[in-house]
Amino acid sequence: MAAPDHVSVALLGAGTVGAQVVRLLTERTDDLAARAGAPLKLVGIAVSDIDREREPWIPRDLLTTDADELVTRADIVVELIGGIDPPRRLVHAALASGATVVTGNKALLAAHGPELFDAAAAADANLYYEAAVAGAIPVVYALRESLAGDTVTEVLGIVNGTTNYVLDEMVTKGLTFDQAVADAQALGFAEADPSADVDGHDAAAKAALLASLAFHTRVPLDMVPVEGIRDVTVEEIAAAKEAGFALKLLAVARRSQAPGGISVRVGPTLVPEDHPLASVRGAFNAVVVESEAAGRLMFYGQGAGGAPTASAVLSDVVAAASHVVLGGRAPRESAYAALPILPPANQAVTARFTIEIEDRPGMLATVAGVLAEEGISIDSVRQAPHVEPAEGTDGPRTAHLTITTHRTWEDALATCLTRLADVAGVRAVLTARRIEGV
């Protein structure tokens, strides 16, 4: 087979990321040709509105509204439209026509990944998605290829920049959640409707993809339990910090032996202050991978934004192009392990929770008794300074009791917290968070 004189690239979508992809493709023609083995030629850009004002470097003669036609006439189709439809239909069409697909669409992959991977395999076509997880950070690459000779045991990731920015603002400036979200919106780090970020859904899609890659097992999005950060308070963060923890929204995926399977979840999580994830500031992302031979690895960088995400897209485009030029193919979806995904109740957990109790003799013994009955072993107990009853009330004085557990099970923890709420003298369960990275 003679090497082709160029590799054709079709772009679907010309938004923030797409515009940066066009800029890099046109500014760095010679560099990209040297790395790919042949010149990359942009053959079309599918948009919904040809007449909209666009960045000056977008070649207007390449714009088209006929995406279905465009995907049939390129070696590489880059999908940056976002959302499920029409990307799902267009990716299928591109794969069916033998094109390599590069996408940054985590929602599409989390919802319909298996179907798309099957379609790619059936068409003997390649599907790349570095930009779908943690933006510019090459963690898909690392899990797909660099750790191919190793066995991953755990992945902990800060994979949503918006929530990390919000939590960081609460820590460093003492802002409330609402104030910090407003700040993030003003700076463009959060959407007008921030729920996909702050409720953890964006992180959950990435958690499903990371777990699938790390454990060679298809992990459906609806098997990922999610908690967001709306209920996090400045007071909780300050108390955690005093105890030596940072509170981060983490995607957690772990392989366990007994019961054998995969635990995966997203939620506000305590990590020790000397853990590398604790010092990830602002809108940065970071993913810590623990594996049997390599030990602990961390990958850190910008998880979003036009140029960083475009860098990840271009790395996939160059890899795809060199396969067009030289033969070979991308690593296929690796799902040979097919480990069971543990229901939340059967997952192991270490937790730290704070309850408000009446400050009278015997309360600690009662609380400790409930934990013992649920088989939960206590690592440490801390009783905070007394809290006086509100003025004008004559109730007894109260105290805050903070308990850190040893490793236990989610169902035991849930039962325990429910029972504690009903114990006479317990006013409320104030916070309960998982601990990772210890």
Q: Does 300 bind its own copies (CB under 8 A)?
A: yes
Number of C-beta neighbours around residue 237 at 10 A: 19
Options 62, 294, 368, 432; binder of its own copies; rule CB under 8 A: 294
Q: Does 317 bind its own copies (CB under 8 A)?
A: yes
Number of C-beta neighbours around residue 395 at 10 A: 9
Options 69, 242, 292, 373; binder of its own copies; rule CB under 8 A: 292
Q: Which residues contact 180 (CB under 8 A, 6 or more apart)?
A: 165, 166, 167, 169, 170, 173
CB 219 within 8 A of CB 337: no
Report the candidate in 365, 364, 380, 375 with the shortest Cα–Cα distance to residue 416. Answer: 375
Site for its own copies in 142-171 (CB under 8 A): 142, 145-151
CA 241 to chain centre: 24
Site for its own copies in 269-288 (CB under 8 A): 274, 276, 279, 281
Q: Does 101 bind its own copies (CB under 8 A)?
A: no
Size of site (CB under 8 A) for its own copies: 59
Measured from the CB of residue 153, what is the shortest distance to its own copies in angstroms? 12
Options 128, 165, 299, 353; binder of its own copies; rule CB under 8 A: 299
- Residue 131 CA to residue 309 CA, distance in Å, equals 6
Nearest to its own copies of 286, 416 (CB atom): 286
Nearest to its own copies of 313, 355 (CB atom): 313
Measured from the CB of residue 289, what is the shortest distance to its own copies in angstroms? 9
Q: Does 117 bind its own copies (CB under 8 A)?
A: no
Nearest to its own copies of 130, 227 (CB atom): 130
Options 111, 136, 209, 271; binder of its own copies; rule CB under 8 A: 136
Distances (CA, A) of 71 to 100, 105, 247, 324: 10, 17, 44, 16
Q: Does 210 bind its own copies (CB under 8 A)?
A: no
Binding to its own copies by CB under 8 A, coded x per residue (else -) over 385-404, reads --------------------
- Residue 437 CA to residue 348 CA, distance in Å, equals 13
Which helix (DSSP H) or strand (DSSP E) does residue 188 occupy?
Answer: none
* Region of 90-98, 140-148, 339-347, 422-430 interacting with its own copies (CB under 8 A): 140-148
Which of 173, 206, 241, 248 is labelled catalytic? 206
Taking the alpha carbons at both ends of the chain, their separation in whole angstroms is 54
Active site residue 206: yes
Question: Pairing state of beta strands 378-383 and 284-291?
Answer: unpaired
Measured from the CB of residue 15, what is the shortest distance to its own copies in angstroms? 16
CB 366 within 8 A of CB 425: yes
Q: Does 35 bind its own copies (CB under 8 A)?
A: yes
CB 68 within 8 A of CB 96: no
CB 26 within 8 A of CB 42: yes
CA 164 to chain centre: 11
For the record, the structure tokens of 146 come out as 């660099």
Nearest to its own copies of 215, 353 (CB atom): 215
CB 251 within 8 A of CB 266: yes
Measured from the CB of residue 14, what is the shortest distance to its own copies in angstroms? 17
Measured from the CB of residue 391, what is the shortest distance to its own copies in angstroms? 43
For the record, the structure tokens of 115 come out as 């179907």
- Residue 394 CA to residue 389 CA, distance in Å, equals 7
Options 307, 339, 414, 430; binder of its own copies; rule CB under 8 A: 307
Binding to its own copies by CB under 8 A, coded x per residue (else -) over 42-61, reads --------------------
Options 2, 192, 258, 293; binder of its own copies; rule CB under 8 A: 293
Measured from the CB of residue 105, what is the shortest distance to its own copies in angstroms? 18
- Residue 316 CA to residue 318 CA, distance in Å, equals 5
Nearest to its own copies of 315, 354 (CB atom): 315
Q: Does 217 bind its own copies (CB under 8 A)?
A: no
Number of C-beta neighbours around residue 322 at 10 A: 16
Q: Does 257 bind its own copies (CB under 8 A)?
A: no
- Residue 259 CA to residue 271 CA, distance in Å, equals 24
Report the candidate in 319, 325, 338, 326 with the shortest Cα–Cα distance to residue 126. Answer: 319
Please list the active-site residues: 206
**Residues near its own copies (CB under 8 A):** 20, 24, 28, 31-32, 34-36, 130, 136-138, 141-142, 145-151, 216, 274, 276, 279, 281, 291-302, 305, 307-308, 310-315, 317-319, 322-323, 326-329, 331, 334, 336
